Structure 1
């Protein structure tokens, strides 16, 4: 009987590593052995962008269809060499993830190429945003770099993914497990959505599971189902072979699929062009800086100080559940775009809050009650009656009502001592790269580079995230304008006014949207040539940055 070592020599001559971004693996198998089928070129996927809060990993219908196909494969083979139809690939490292080719793995390779092609394309596109951070933490814990592909199976490399079981973030921690491994989860902060801290927690958890079960298949199955479930399965069937356990009815199919999904993802990510993903566009980490802020500082104020948008700050600080830093005496470290930390430190102490009243107009519809209108605009009945000099709540269709709304605005004072500053104390800038160097596996070769933010597109021959050390960014200062109370600025952060499209959501009104973007309702009406305040869900509005 041939040993796995002899099979390895026969089929896979060892090859040298290709850049730090590739996993420690061997040259690919012959096409017939992997039975990889190129996907249909007719499949066209939409352009890929960053993850958003509305994104679901998969719908229940998609999961049920996937599981039905998996169940139809029959028994789960062990993955050992047998009759030439299964090929076992020894991993290079002593604790690496072993790769097998069996019907279940083949099913998921085809599944990712076919029905899930657009999902996988999106996940692959985002992978390069988080692989450096993940693999740095994995290296510190002695975990194999290819295990970073587990984040694809967990969340599709989305820091805002939310499951039906309320598991959240890149590594899909439930609240209890996240807190157990040091993540802060409270009404103001959810560090499960912080890619860096969640990856550190995942590395610690996976190391603990591997130390208990002694094999990555069992460890990742336990990551999905819980340690207790895998312990009971081992005790019930008297085996620590994952494939033998998977062939029994005790483990849920959702847990069984986890291992072949991971293996298929590693195989494809190690050679995406071979499996039909060679033209994928990849996103790369943008350089960021840090500022230490007091509690309760609004992000809109920080954005104005940094000459960026509040939406941009929320995107790079996903763990914040409110639109301000957590209240309290402790300071909070906020990430800001590169070149803006010193601006925040200079401008925020001079920024002051002003409350102004603006009036919108509402036309009463047939059958509409005053309570319904007050709820729509989040005002009291008394306020509405006073604003319109009404003695009672009787309304007529077509009647026009003035809707008072309080608008919060920020202005720059001449100096930090003039009036009351938004920040109770000065902001302290800390300049450093957000993503530090580390071994980055699973990097596709010959990809199309897609830069994010102001970062230049990498050259094809260079790694997406070069190995090295943390870099401190330098802010190029220029002389501030001589106008009264002008905010500090710099060459890197000075930007022309940007315009974006906003899709009206159910429950939106003109005032809520104006408040969200720190502009006036009149501005939105003028930019979009609106004849009234009435908006419909799905309507697109042009919004310019304040």
Structure 2
């Protein structure tokens, strides 16, 4: 540990040892990791476990993968200390982590493998959270990969009133791969990239520059040369050794006496696309699931209704997927014309909102998780037509709630599936505003005009206004951004019409990211893999 941590004189060394011996992992103040309640102390003193290793344990310690192939001798004491901890005193913790990881490892390894990245990066979520998809730290990190809010948003994880996609273990894995790939591009060394995942790339870059080191291990050896503010914190210096130790154990679970985990088993869940405003509680019931069971698969959804602003992913057990898909095709998007709104005054109530909006109190309560009362300042889901201002509340009189507002008749609207007219988009108008003006959902308007992204419309564009109903398959596909809504964790049915011509330096991964589909989709639709990908080839990139 002395060589690994650097030297600053005996006084400093004694102080550091005292810190290492007593410090417990608390909320991580770094850019990214830590703080999860069931993760033990990250810092483990060298002398914590003096029990000798068996020959089998020594063999596992000496095993190497792509990332721990060249661990320097100066770092091995720290690696060994972490390794011994999880074999002995922390064995029960390791058992829990390894078994829990089995739910996600196959998918994570597949994501990293598809990009040509080391598959053992999948073990980093064990260090971060023990693979707890709902892990939260006091510093604000969340999910299995412990993304802080800003970093999560930067890498495509939506966080708003509707949802927190950091809690989606599959989408968060994809975001973590994005971030780690970026860090590797910055540092060209996996241990250094992993350390930067914990400390932040700025901190790691400054430490390298300040010490003149080539990589993380050299920074650790020279860390004492930096001033106190620039030094890597002890927890970051132990972060990589912990990852290396856990990787060695995960590669050797059977020989080390742990219950085996199928590293490549794919989760038995289906990823489906829910249209804007889908009633998730009704979806869970239609799928034969209790609400609590449904929530355990969909922790990223924070409300009982899916976002009314965009299509979103939902997950159900594979054995329930047919029922769920039938509901989504039949009843998805029932609340697309609703919106979250702030309760302006304590004088407001469900009864008053019902009178102002023309829906029943029961429907309002159902859309808001069954809550019986509302309070000033909170956000609730209401029809877009509901005026939530204090003036509107004061003007609300007594009497029964008005009947539900009727939509224009089919004859007036032009018949089933036919347009009632054309709207020319004016300056300042949005697709949502046009949908509201004509009493149709945003998804229906997108479907009628083959619009994948509602934000990409132009002034002067002619929009067909749809009739009362759209072809079910087309409406679902268009509301999902032009893709089939179902798939086994990203898989969708083939038969798409959108194509892409492969260019030099393209990969399946960057093409998949460009069109918001999975690499597996591209492989299945085109019978191609990375080795057979050729410049000039035409790929199907959408399942419309």
> What TM-score results when the alignment is normalised by the length of structure 1?
0.49
Choose between structure 1 and 2: higher strand proportion.
1
The structure whose residues are more often helix, as a share, is 2
Which structure is richer in relative contact order (CA contacts within 8 A, separation 6 or more)? 1
